[in-house]
Structure 1
């Protein structure tokens, strides 16, 4: 533990020190990736050897998305070398992406050691510095994202193709200290057989074991996973208590019966009328997860479920493709740019991303504005538009500190060009204006007769009942707030292309049931995230209970 603590705090100190020469580090990152990969097929095609500056790089290389690089990536996955990177990928991270298609993100040794591990270790610094007791025992942390696969699927070249949380980084990349907190808990590797794709049963089994431990911290990264935990406790409560009493795990004898623990839990449930994480784990200290995006609506209430004074620490602003920002202190939402990891460019979030779009450097960003993230790193992703939008919160040492604002996708039926970050901020404004408690929300362009004006229909989950008058007022406040956030929406409303938004109030557990339904189809929980825009009729019907859904469900 001493070595781990020294590594984590040391990496944070180095990243903090790098902020003093952010421009120098950005030049170094660009120079190294160009030199290292100049002889690759992509490097030769784009004259890496002749590039001397970011300006040269912008002229020589177009802005790419995954589809633009996919032909090279597929050839690499089939076994070809020296295409995007001089290093062969050691593994391919999978990512659901915006469309749900499984990407293959090439991950090289050079990327991991130069870009990934420094930010990865530093990300845990606020947790272990201020809540060191969460590492006192292996079972003090419930890591919801840890899901190892002993026999992972592979590409045609034989490389593992898995989620980032499913890779043994220590073995694969020679970093024995890289195991996340909670990895060695009794539930870290399930002791009973379960179908690899039965993620709900795996979630239950881990929870069954964790209920008998004194958990101090929950790691979820994806906040939807943490939000589901209180719901799961109540959903599975009779089964949990029975198995603890009987000494079984998934119906199989495991350990010793614990009738005293079962009786205590039953008394708590009877006394409070429900069961909350705070009842099961009274010494809970911290939650580690994304604290922005949709979570801004429900996180205050969610943290109450885990106990008074429980801290919410922000997970890094990062994707499978690479890091953007990491919290180096206890700021509740934002992290400093990882200037040593990638060469960063940005584009105003209101702009469309085109191969020749004029980009901004980190010094040109303005606090309070949203930006598309574009990065380049030694692992073979060049001017890569990751699909995330960040909001600049402030600056530390002259370097922007950013918070995740949402995906870059838009809803644009009649020119309104809505981004989910705009809608989330509008929902927060409407909730504050009306005093109503919003737990989660989604929207779509409602069905309409041909020739009729469009309008947005919102599905809003609320903790308590709303009167018809309250719902109408909320809808009116929301409609105005969206217009303030999005000029396109405001213009479409003024021109009559859009009529006023409507609100359908759902019960407080509607989105949690929907989350479970998605996971039940075989999607890993880490990939089932909060989504604002839900135009798919089947998914909307499942969420709102307005249309029949097949037994298999749809993701």
Structure 2
């Protein structure tokens, strides 16, 4: 098949980049130094380059002395000028778009994207894709169900588009790849109506040999699995009749784009109907070729994986690698191993303990220590220099001379009434363990610090099972135990009664899904829906509080 030829061509091309990565990973310091000097020399004549004397930078230490650690607020005025059409501000190469990112705090940010930056990003993607195919060869036996967001959400005052980098990466794929490997039409992801978009996605995917589901957010994948069950009979009937009957309005452009997927297919409809009647209408059965699900699996995202066995059977789930709109952090080597993307950007690190004491003393990649935790800084071809993304990573291994990293959580999202310093990773671990021990399936949760009447934590959660007062008390007790196991300082504070016992509050059914719908309707891409599992934004907290249910009495 032609698809096999494309995969073989990719493997051949990928092997060259993999060989280069393997070679360069043996001398991490030299590779990173070269990458840095390439970036600064290219941008020496920009406004930012002149201000920080890029022309005189000859080594990493020169760069660290000349350029301050920065964040988005530091660069926002310059980025706004670029958005208004000014040139040669941060980069000599004019950005062709801005990637939008909401992060976990504040309003939406505009991240410049240049052609060189996209090349940096793709280097890591090629190496990752090569190794992923090596570990999961079944992926090459079908097509990918990739979920992304629109590449253009609007235009700046300078007429530069802004949108999701995932959509832009899709557009930059060769037409043959879009046709034969990632064939779901882009127009599907422009459908505004939430239910119609996912119905259309499933209607098209059900007539394809899906071998891989690939998207960032695991909650999106779980939602897709639940919609498969919800709309099963309707989807089967559509396939039988060669039509589509979505729950909402279908834009003309989307309907035209999916025309080739709407052929009447009686054999496929019968196969699916048989599964439905046997109560086996789940992803791994409707797509026997499904070999891999690739998404975020680390930190807070891991919570949403608990429903995957019910929705997707024993299909392997693999982390999609660490990265963001601001830069690509790691490359995939194996299911449990991701190396720093040293051929893509220049990286620096700050020990978490020193950062918390106000120090910005940085280390290069080759100076890191096994098992230690660091804040990571990016320097890229898109004009982010020593950019503090506020992510905390841990060194989990080494590949040759290059560190392997694991994303832990966002920095700053730490709650500490009396020195317990609870992190989002810890509350996620505790809530997941608590749910397993109580045999309770949680759809969503967040932990709220409350000062009154005494400092304590509240577990707000959504579950299909409605708990009574006694069960809520038992759940809170179990959560207390799990938090104590995750954080020894929390245990000390509870034992000394400086922290009161936690409480559990149940949210109404479909709270999380309705909140997602509302956020998507307000223009937030699916992949950027990140509701914190610890102390969420005030506006999110207010919406969730309205959904707390009355407590049923014990039977």
**What TM-score do the two structures reach when normalised by structure 2?**
0.84
Matches within 5 A, 1:23-38: 23-38=29-44
Instruction: Quote how far apart the aligned CAs of 1:73 are.
Output: 0.8
User: For 1:63-74, what aligned pairs fall within 5 Å after superposition?
Assistant: 63-74=69-80
Corresponding residue number in structure 2 for 1:241: 236
Question: SS of the counterpart of 1:482?
Answer: helix
Q: 1:265 to 1:94 in 2, by over 3 A?
A: same
| Partner Cα separation in structure 2 for residue 351 and residue 474 of structure 1 | 37
Question: 2:319 & 2:448 partners in 1: Cα distance?
Answer: 32
Q: Conserved in 1, the CA contact under 8 Å of 2:217 and 2:527?
A: yes
Q: Secondary structure at the match of 1:327?
A: strand
Structure 1 match to 2:93: 87
Contact 1:344 1:375 in 2 (8 A): yes
Distance 1:305 1:543, change over 3 A: same
Match of 1:531 in 2: 532
Is 2:427–2:447's contact at 8 Å kept on the other side of the alignment? no
Give the match for residue 121 of structure 2.
116
The Cα shift of 1:160 comes to 1.9
| Distance change >3 Å, CA 304–CA 367, structure 1 → 2 | farther
Structure 1 residues 16-25 or 534-543, which shifts more?
534-543
- The answer to which of 463-472 and 420-429 deviates more is 463-472
Matched, 1:215 2:222: no
C-alpha change, 1:91 and 1:438, in structure 2 (3 Å) is same
Match of 1:256 among 233, 243, 263: 263
- The answer to whether 1:424 aligns with 2:421 is no
Match of 2:502 in 1: 501
Q: Secondary structure at the match of 2:21?
A: helix
Task: Report deviation, 1:351.
Answer: 5.1
Q: Are the counterparts in 2 of residues 282 and 307 from structure 1 also a CA contact under 8 Å?
A: no
Tell me the number of residue pairs that the alignment of Structure 1 and Structure 2 aligns. Answer: 530
Paired residue for 2:198? 203
TM-superposed deviation, 1:325: 1.0
Partner of residue 413 from structure 2, selected from 403, 407, 410: 410
Find 2:219's aligned residue among 224, 228, 244: 224
In the other structure, the counterpart of 1:359 is 362
Structure 1, unpaired ranges of 5+: 549-555
Q: CA deviation at 1:380?
A: 1.2
Contact 1:170 1:179 in 2 (8 A): no
Instruction: Give distance in 2, aligned partners of 1:546 and 1:80.
Output: 46
Q: CA deviation at 1:100?
A: 5.5
RMSD over equivalenced CA pairs, Å: 3.4
Q: Distance in 1 between matches of 2:376 and 2:176?
A: 27
Measured after TM superposition, the shift of residue 260 of structure 1 is 4.9
For 2:345, the equivalent position in structure 1 comes to 342
The within-5 A match list for 1:300-379 is: 301-303=307-309, 305-308=311-314, 310-328=315-333, 330-332=334-336, 334-350=337-353, 352=355, 357-379=360-382
Question: Does 2:72 match 1:99?
Answer: no
Which residue does the alignment assign to 1:57? 63
1:281-309 residue CA offsets vs partner (Å, 9 max, x unmatched): 1221111112212343443651453233x
Secondary structure, in 3 states, of the residue corresponding to 2:408? strand
From the superposition, tell whether residues 541 and 168 of structure 1 become closer, same or farther in structure 2 (CA, over 3 Å): closer
- Structure 1 residue 80 displacement after superposition: 1.3
Q: Which deviates more from structure 2 when the two are superposed, residues 98-107 or residues 490-499?
A: 490-499
String of CA shifts for 1:392-424, please: whole Å, max 9, x gaps. 222221322112222224143635543212222
Contact 1:199 1:522 in 2 (8 A): no
Gaps of 5+ in 2: 1-5, 550-555
Deviation at 1:320, TM superposition (A): 0.5
Q: Quick one: which of 291, 301, 315 aligns to 1:285?
A: 291
| Structure-2 change in CA distance of 1:496 and 1:229 (3 Å) | same
Distance 2:412 2:196 in 1: 32
What is the alpha-carbon distance in structure 1 between the residues aligned to residue 104 and residue 318 of structure 2? 26
TM-score computed with the length of structure 1 as normaliser: 0.84
Q: Residue 87 of structure 1 aligns to a residue in which SS?
A: coil
- 1:159 paired residue number: 160
SS across alignment from 1:278: helix
